[in-house]
């Protein structure tokens, strides 16, 4: 079996599972945010259940429209707060303690290797970077799971992605996954497990792995997953608040397809409007002017990403025709950035340094685009109207390219700035 199949089998109480099989499995963590949880809460209340299955396994995190941007957002966040108090949920994170959900849960040791996780958010697939099976579901599935502690799954086919060769300067996990999506398309892994491995991945830090698994959904994947190793152990051992299990894939496990990539040939990559698969080398896009730059999100808002952007922007100024918004993904990352002097670098450059929020990524707040405006962002989606007006445009990149573009006022490579 593959690692995905082993985790599903273990949680279903079965010795083995097969592709296409429908199973019911016990969950380790259930997640929802201030957009999706209100629906789950409403449906949970309709079931007649008077308590959740486990108060320590349900994470409710207000991060999309929080800090609350208007009355409607405040009402939705209030629903999470009151439900969490009513059921004594230990994993409710208020503004000031919260972070972008998919950065917060790994950081706090809430999601661990071998876990089975569902979340009412499509980028729940992020946690595969730790060797967990995690996937996005609908709010009604979360409602049922909050009552029962279980969810149904169809065992997905697995695809294997092998990365080899030395990474070029300024190339990171973001470039690898954008390159991959550019190759296979936004439905190239539809309802499949994207198993990521290879010599390049074996030295890739957890931050880069989280970025890659985060965007598995942008290729249509059911989940992204990386077999845990020493780098995983180093990351989780000081964070874990409970036992965890490292699963591996058998050498004779079956894959529906295998893709191999020579990373020495991959350069900083940008996804152009209006699909994550519409990729081009950043160096070929120097004629594209930029109104707004966003560094942050569940894809690239970790401290490593903030450091990378700061390294490029240090000693430079944001172009007078552009604006730069930097959003650390959690309170801890925010604090680390302040302590390391990174926040000062951005503010001195003329950038906004924000409290944690999903904000602009989904066109929520803290950076909405007007008609005709163009942004480059370290986020994960660039669909029509994703960050604001339907006639705006979004380009996706790594933090270094984003920072360089803020300096030049157009899409640029770090070498042009440093």
Give the CATH number for residue 154: 3.30.499.10
237 and 376 in a common domain = no
Provide the pLDDT for residue 309: 98
| pTM (2 d.p.) | 0.96
Of 129, 123, 147, 140, which is closest to residue 58 (Cα–Cα)? 147
199 and 107 in a common domain = yes
23 and 131 in a common domain = yes
pLDDT along the chain (418 residues), means of 10: 98 97 98 97 94 97 96 97 97 95 97 98 97 97 97 98 97 98 96 97 98 97 98 96 96 97 98 97 98 97 98 97 98 98 98 96 95 98 95 98 98 96
281 and 368 in a common domain = yes
Q: Does some domain include residue 128?
A: yes
The residue behind tokens 């429908």 is: 22
Q: Does some domain include residue 93?
A: yes
346 and 199 in a common domain = no
- CA 24 to chain CA centroid, Å, is 26
Cα 203 from Cα 201, distance rounded (Å): 5
Q: Which of 260, 286, 303 is the last residue of a domain?
A: 260
Q: Does some domain include residue 253?
A: yes
Q: Does some domain include residue 265?
A: no
How many folded domains does the chain comprise? 2
Beta bridge partners of 294: 325, 377
385 Rama class: left (phi>0) / alpha (psi -120 to 50) / beta: left
Would you call 81 helix, strand, or coil by DSSP?
helix
Q: Does some domain include residue 267?
A: no
87 and 21 in a common domain = yes
CB count in 10 Å sphere of residue 191: 12
249 and 325 in a common domain = no
287 and 252 in a common domain = no
303 and 213 in a common domain = no
Beta bridge partners of 158: 193
167 and 293 in a common domain = no
Q: Does some domain include residue 266?
A: no
Q: Which of 227, 260, 293 is the last residue of a domain?
A: 260
- Residue 304's contacts (CB-CB under 8 Å, 6 or more residues apart) are 205, 207, 208
Is the separation of the CB atoms in 35 and 43 below 8 Å?
A: no
Provide the pLDDT for residue 219: 97
99 and 19 in a common domain = yes
User: What would the pLDDT profile of 44-97 be if each residue is shown by its tens digit?
Assistant: 999 999 999 999 999 999 999 999 999 999 999 999 999 999 999 999 999 999
Provide the pLDDT for residue 225: 98
Provide the pLDDT for residue 251: 95
Provide the pLDDT for residue 282: 98
- CA 23 to chain CA centroid, Å, is 26
- Domain residues for 396? 273-416
Cα 179 from Cα 152, distance rounded (Å): 32
**Tokens (6 digits) for 193:** 């497990």
Q: Does some domain include residue 268?
A: no
Q: Does some domain include residue 213?
A: yes
Cα 306 from Cα 225, distance rounded (Å): 24
226 and 315 in a common domain = no
Q: Which of 260, 295, 326 is the last residue of a domain?
A: 260
């Amino acid at each position: 079996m593959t690692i995905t199949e082993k985790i599903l089998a273990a949680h279903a109480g079965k010795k083995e599972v097969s592709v296409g099989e429908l199973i019911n499995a016990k969950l380790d963590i259930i997640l929802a945010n201030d957009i999706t949880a209100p629906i789950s809460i409403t449906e949970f209340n309709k079931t007649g259940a008077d308590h959740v299955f486990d108060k320590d396994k349900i994470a409710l995190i207000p991060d999309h429209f929080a800090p609350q941007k208007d009355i409607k957002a405040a009402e939705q966040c209030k629903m999470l707060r009151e439900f969490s108090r009513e059921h004594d949920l230990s994993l409710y994170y208020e503004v000031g303690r919260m972070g972008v959900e998919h950065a917060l849960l790994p950081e706090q040791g809430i999601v661990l290797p071998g876990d089975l996780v569902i979340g009412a958010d499509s980028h729940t697939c992020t946690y595969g970077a730790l060797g967990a099976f995690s996937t996005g579901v609908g709010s009604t599935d979360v409602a049922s799971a909050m009552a029962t502690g279980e969810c149904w799954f169809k065992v997905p086919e697995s695809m294997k992605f092998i990365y080899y060769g030395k990474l070029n300067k300024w190339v990171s996990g973001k470039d690898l996954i954008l390159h991959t999506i550019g190759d296979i398309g936004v439905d190239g892994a539809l309802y499949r497990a994207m198993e990521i491995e290879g010599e390049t991945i074996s030295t890739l830090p957890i931050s880069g792995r989280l970025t890659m698994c985060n965007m598995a959904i942008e290729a249509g994947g059911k989940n992204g997953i990386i077999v845990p190793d020493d780098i995983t152990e180093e990351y989780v051992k000081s964070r874990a608040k409970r036992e965890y299990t490292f699963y591996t894939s058998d050498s004779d496990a079956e894959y529906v397809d295998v893709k191999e990539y020579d990373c020495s040939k991959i350069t900083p990559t940008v996804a152009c409007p209006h699909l994550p698969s519409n990729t081009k080398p950043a160096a070929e896009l120097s004629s594209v002017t930029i109104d707004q730059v966003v560094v942050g999100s569940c894809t690239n808002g970790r401290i490593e990403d903030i450091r990378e952007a700061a390294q490029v922007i240090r000693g430079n100024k944001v172009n007078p025709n552009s604006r730069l918004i930097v959003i650390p993904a959690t309170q801890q990352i925010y604090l680390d950035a302040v302590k390391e002097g990174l926040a000062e670098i951005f503010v001195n450059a003329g950038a906004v340094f924000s409290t944690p929020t999903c904000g602009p990524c989904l066109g929520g707040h803290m950076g909405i685009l007007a008609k005709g405006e163009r942004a480059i962002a370290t986020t994960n989606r660039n669909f029509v109207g994703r960050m604001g007006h339907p006639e705006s445009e979004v380009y996706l990149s790594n933090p270094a390219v984003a920072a360089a573009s803020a300096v030049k006022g157009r899409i640029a490579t770090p070498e042009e700035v440093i």
